[in-house]
Structure 1
Amino acid sequence: MTVKSPNFFIIGAPKCGTTSLARWLSEHPETYLSPTKEPHYYSTDLSNRRIKSESSYLSLFSGVGSAHKAIGEASTWYLYSKEAVANIERQHSGTRYIVMTRDPIEMAHSLYHHNYRVLHEDQPTFERAWKLQGEREKGKMIPAPCTEPEFLQYRQACALGSMLERLLEQVDVERVLHIPLEAMRVNAKLSINAFLLSWS
């Protein structure tokens, strides 16, 4: 039996509501979301790839049924990755992308608190962590438990404008659904329906 491959990707950004979006989409009977969130198979330039073999990746979609029109996965660092979208386009030409964003300052603070909670960050305040970005870019002052030091570069990690520009240089705008977190907060159902209607 041939396993169907994804035709849409939630590519970011982290701390912007993607977990809620993925959960809501997965509840729709015509949508299939990979049960493993954040496989990051296509972000070959980053250290956070949970799945590295094609067979393991395709197995995430073994549960796709005949009723599923929208088949996707959510890896929120694909937008940040310089290689992910190009890798996706090579294997899934014509696929669609969902991008969630929020105020970059809010995102940076939220990312800092997440890193601190999981022990990837050891600075007691956001301000101190921000000031260390230059040293950390040189490989210094990286907390021992941190396996993803690139995600301590809060300025780069939250430069959403430049990431969106890079995405739209590679993908037609008609294939990108951009949902600001503020819009999701106001009317989540409207945002989701806008996406699902594109398959009708």
Structure 2
Amino acid sequence: MSLLNIFKNKKRDKVGLFILGAQKCGTTSLHYYLDQHPLLVGSQPKETDFFSFDGYYEKGVKWYHKCFELNLKPNWLLKFDSSTEYLYIPYCAERIKKYNSNSKFIIIKRDPFKRAVSAYKMYRALSEGKLWSKSYLKKVKMHNSVLQSKMIELLNRKPFPEFVNLVEEEIKLLDQINNDFIYEPSLISRGNYEHQMNRFLLHFPKENIFEIDFERYTENTIEVLNEVLVFLGVNHDFFDESYDFSIQLKSSESFSIDAAAYKHVQQLFNEKINA
């Protein structure tokens, strides 16, 4: 359904676009860029986590819609939410279906191993207190109790596990539960994009989902952004060099691991993700 049809059908009060993730795949920059468009209204904060965190979901739709009120523009047509947990947590697709059956989705896919490296750095920084804050802990506690405990347990581990050890630990967990959903650690699991997409395809047609390759997005940002606008049914040549592309897309993340160990864990990782 185009934005014009959403407007005619008076359905625009509901959020109609969800940038699902994946985690550590450039959703922050995509949210920022799309929010520059006069017809598009991004949530504040970028990740509302309304459909993924029970504590927020129980507050109801009126609370959710307040996340967009401060950002409304004179001629806006579409609200969008960029919460990466929606892609990974199994019950989110069904919750979004109940909320708006005409929803559209964007998924950014990144090489699963590179995504895992980036996620590991984030988790380690959180564990070491570099990103930890009372507000973040409060947000984690809005999860349902099982997911909350898994995240807090991971971040409280001292010393924080090395990348290789955490990958090996997750492989053992996945083997024990026959590749079913686990919340944390999820370095491997969050890279299984097809499995996660299939949950949404149970509730929404494939044409409602737009896939972006992370590498192409970083190298051809303007072209990809205008393709997103085509997908949404709005003017497709809006973005050009005049817009603010100050958010750094290219990852320079690294951490200390010797070459042999790196090769070993990459092999383990790829064997599991392709199983």
Q: TM class, shorter-chain normalised?
A: 0.7 to 0.9
TM-score, normalised on structure 2? 0.61
Secondary structure of the residue aligned to 1:132 is helix
Secondary structure of the residue aligned to 1:131 is helix
Contact 2:18 2:106 in 1 (8 A): yes
Secondary structure of the residue aligned to 1:151 is coil
Aligned length: 185
Partner residue in 1 for 2:149:
none
Partner residue in 1 for 2:67:
60
Contact 1:69 1:199 in 2 (8 A): no
Consecutive unaligned residues of structure 2, counting only runs of 5 or more, are 1-10, 128-154, 175-181, 235-275
Shift of 1:112: 0.9
User: Which one has a bigger Cα radius of gyration?
Assistant: 2
Contact 2:43 2:80 in 1 (8 A): yes
Shift of 1:133: 2.5
After superposition, what is the alpha-carbon deviation per residue over 1:66-119, rounded to whole angstroms, capped at 9, x for unaligned?
411221111001010111111111111111001111011111111111100111
Distance 2:171 2:229 in 1: 43
Distance 1:136 1:174 in 2: 34
Q: 1:33 aligns with which of 17, 35, 42?
A: 42
Partner residue in 2 for 1:157:
190
State yes or no: 1:115 paired with 2:123. yes
Are the structure 2 counterparts of residues 136 and 116 from structure 1 closer, same or farther at C-alpha, using a change threshold of 3 Å? Answer: farther
Structure with more helix by fraction: 2
Distance 2:82 2:114 in 1: 21
Contact 1:7 1:96 in 2 (8 A): yes
Identical amino acids, percent of aligned pairs: 24
| Equivalences for residues 73-92 of structure 1 within 5 A | 73-92=81-100
The range that moved more, 178-187 or 121-130, is 121-130
Shift of 1:43: 1.7
Shift of 1:179: 0.6
| Equivalences for residues 38-53 of structure 1 within 5 A | 38-43=47-52, 52-53=58-59
Q: 2:169 aligns with which of 105, 121, 132?
A: 132
Shift of 1:154: 1.9
State yes or no: 1:189 paired with 2:222. yes
Distance 1:36 1:44 in 2: 14
